[in-house]
Structure 1
Amino acid sequence: MEIKRKLYDELLTWKNKSRGSKSLLIEGARRVGKSTLAKRFAENEYRSYILIDFNIAPKNVRDNFENLNRLDIFFQNLSLEYNVKLYRRESLIIFDEIQKFPRAREAMKYLVADGRYDYLETGSLISIRENVKDITIPSEEKKLKMYPLDFEEFAEACGEELLLEYIRQCYDTKQPLQQKAHARAMRLFREYLLTGGMPRSVVAYLENDRDFAASDVEKRDILNLYRDDIKKASQKYNFRISAIFENIPGYLSTHEKKVVLSQAEPGAVYSQYDAPLFWLDDSMICNLCYKCNDPNVGFALHKNDAAVKCYMGDTGLLVSLAFGENELASQQLYKLIMNGRLALNEGMLYENCIAQMIAAKGKKLFFYTRYNEGKHRNDIEIDFLLSNESKTSFKVIPVEVKSSKNYTTTSLTRFAEVFSDRIAESYIIHPKPFLQEKTVTKIPPYMLFCAL
């Protein structure tokens, strides 16, 4: 089964505009579909291609990078090794899993300058210190981040193109979907929550007649790959990465959803967890969301490094991480989620999925809370902060996520009172149909992609 990915169009843009001056690096988490996309692009858009997988590349291929001062020999060796004829300006060379051989990444400076062929790189963990400490990062390299399938891609894979078009039409005209269509879209969204956007999970789900158990098998294999990668991280902090990773469902099940280091390591301080958190973020296994102390121009300028939420990069993986195989095998959990009756844990999944949607649009994640000394608790809690991205008239867009049809908007109201001059509009993500109320836009989660 072939899954259409939006990133393909960006690869085409690179080929048509920048390929002669830069290589293209696709970075993303393991099993997100980088290699599949690169190969499909090469097959469709080039006369010939060579794919060098540095997980299995033989020694003579690696040694060939000593011939960069004799590029005729370099290319001849590749052509002979992979039995592929290369054509000037009509062939693509793919360096797959390039983090396994950073020397090849450094070579882009010379290969791009030579100009004979195009170069596509794929990699995970490419900015981790161990993978770049001995090389010069080439300026002749354009980067693209690849995420799990977003809701639109998932819906298209499920054959719901007409439903997507109807959702876009309703958002543009500020109208709710008809009730039957709304119920259908919410069901599709809950399928997305459970299956997630990792390609192998989606394919297993659809090719096995929408079987969540088949999807779960693939997701658990991916989680084990992540655990293996964590074990290979620097011994200085791999146990801390593992502690955070395994505790993610626990953190997200709490009211505040923040990382609590004492649960991972008694007496821990945030300075000890800078590198582990960076590793999880750079690997794109997780999406980090930091508290913004003052929601004003440039959220990052007011970032609180000691208050962070750690969402899974894929909500389907969070489901498999949070619940045991036996628990999922009973099918009862799937039934509860599909019927919208999971209570607390459903809120965790909703919020994680909204974080995933925002991050996939290339936006950094921030949240806001205000502590009330008199009440000894937070009296304002905003799940996410977005902005209108204007440099001359900056405005804040607070976002609250509600998984239940019955909820209060106390925090959003107080936030609006305190920061009224900074707010452009407000969003509430809820399972009910679209509703516009003055400056508050209430949208179902399946419609969020239209607003980002």
Structure 2
Amino acid sequence: LSTLFEAIPAQLNSNASRYQVSGVLSGNRAGNILEDIAELKDSGTVLVSYHANDPNIGLSQNKDLTRFKLFTADTGLFVTLSFKDKDFTENDIYAKLLNDKLQTNLGYLYENIIAQTLASNGHDLFYHTFTNEASKRNYEIDFITTYNRKICPIEVKSSGYKMHSSIDKFSEKFSSRISRKILAYTKDVQKDGNVELLPVYMIQFL
């Protein structure tokens, strides 16, 4: 359990479409450790986001228990795990992070923030991956929630970057199922067509 827990930052940073159990516990697959994942979730220290195979209202009916991502329930703890190179983490790492001066990929950190925010406000966590048949390119919707009897895809950016290709392609495929489309990023409230660009701190109001 501790090995699965401590590998969370590395797994998210790998940009894989799921938690790669075999890369953490040699010889194991997700289907073999479902009880362990349930135990981690029940501990209150871990958040589990399941793949929604057919994203629609009633997401829990379409979740794949063997395809999931793990986040920590506390983002401060996530930062500590991410920079756990020795027994304690220097305070200047946290200072640089808070002042936006830490030279590292923060995409996975913001994903953890959104996961914690959604879970704290009563949302179960789901995501969806798909392949565009024309381009053969893979896309991922970081989080999916429900809103007004439809679904709401959320794409997360760690900067002011406004591109939302995953939401665009997702919308082409599931347009009739979608109520709101949201890009969570680090700038001010804006709209880009029918996509809502919201600063990360506003996700708590969904």
TM-score relative to the length of structure 2: 0.90
Displacement of 1:341 in angstroms is 4.2
Counterpart check, 1:272 vs 2:32: yes
Local SS of the residue matching 2:113 = helix
Gaps of 5+ in 1: 1-240
- C-alpha distance in structure 1 between counterparts of 2:25 and 2:81, whole Å: 20
> What amino acid is the match of 1:411?
S
Please point out which of 362, 369, 374 is paired with 2:122: 362
> What amino acid is the match of 2:82?
A
More strand by share: 2
Can you list the C-alpha shifts for 1:186-228, whole angstroms capped at 9, x where unaligned? xxxxxxxxxxxxxxxxxxxxxxxxxxxxxxxxxxxxxxxxxxx
> What amino acid is the match of 2:81?
L
Counterpart check, 1:371 vs 2:126: no
Q: Aligned residue for 2:154?
A: 399
Counterpart check, 1:387 vs 2:116: no
Displacement of 1:337 in angstroms is 1.7
> What amino acid is the match of 1:290?
Y
**Kept in 1: contact 2:49–2:70 (CA 8 A):** yes
- C-alpha distance in structure 1 between counterparts of 2:182 and 2:106, whole Å: 19
Local SS of the residue matching 2:7 = helix
Q: Aligned residue for 1:245?
A: 5
Cα distance change on mapping 1:257 and 1:286 into 2, 3 Å: farther
Q: How does 1:7-86 map to 2 (within 5 A)?
A: none
Displacement of 1:342 in angstroms is 3.7
- C-alpha distance in structure 2 between counterparts of 1:288 and 1:266, whole Å: 21
- C-alpha distance in structure 1 between counterparts of 2:203 and 2:103, whole Å: 22
Displacement of 1:347 in angstroms is 1.3
Please point out which of 286, 296, 321 is paired with 2:56: 296
Gaps of 5+ in 2: none
Please point out which of 85, 106, 110 is paired with 1:350: 110
Counterpart check, 1:445 vs 2:200: yes
Displacement of 1:438 in angstroms is 3.6
Displacement of 1:409 in angstroms is 1.2
Q: Aligned residue for 2:179?
A: 424
- C-alpha distance in structure 2 between counterparts of 1:406 and 1:343, whole Å: 17
Displacement of 1:437 in angstroms is 3.1
Cα distance change on mapping 1:419 and 1:372 into 2, 3 Å: closer
- C-alpha distance in structure 2 between counterparts of 1:342 and 1:413, whole Å: 31
CA RMSD of aligned residues (A): 2.1
Larger radius of gyration: 1
More helix by share: 1
Q: Higher RCO, 1 or 2 (CA under 8 Å, sep at least 6)? A: 2
Local SS of the residue matching 1:420 = helix
Counterpart check, 1:336 vs 2:96: yes
- C-alpha distance in structure 2 between counterparts of 1:257 and 1:344, whole Å: 21
Identical-residue share of aligned pairs (%): 35
Counterpart check, 1:318 vs 2:78: yes
Displacement of 1:374 in angstroms is 7.4
Local SS of the residue matching 1:316 = helix
> What amino acid is the match of 2:200?
P
- C-alpha distance in structure 1 between counterparts of 2:127 and 2:104, whole Å: 20
**Kept in 2: contact 1:337–1:346 (CA 8 A):** no
- C-alpha distance in structure 1 between counterparts of 2:104 and 2:62, whole Å: 30
> What amino acid is the match of 1:423?
I
Cα distance change on mapping 1:446 and 1:371 into 2, 3 Å: same
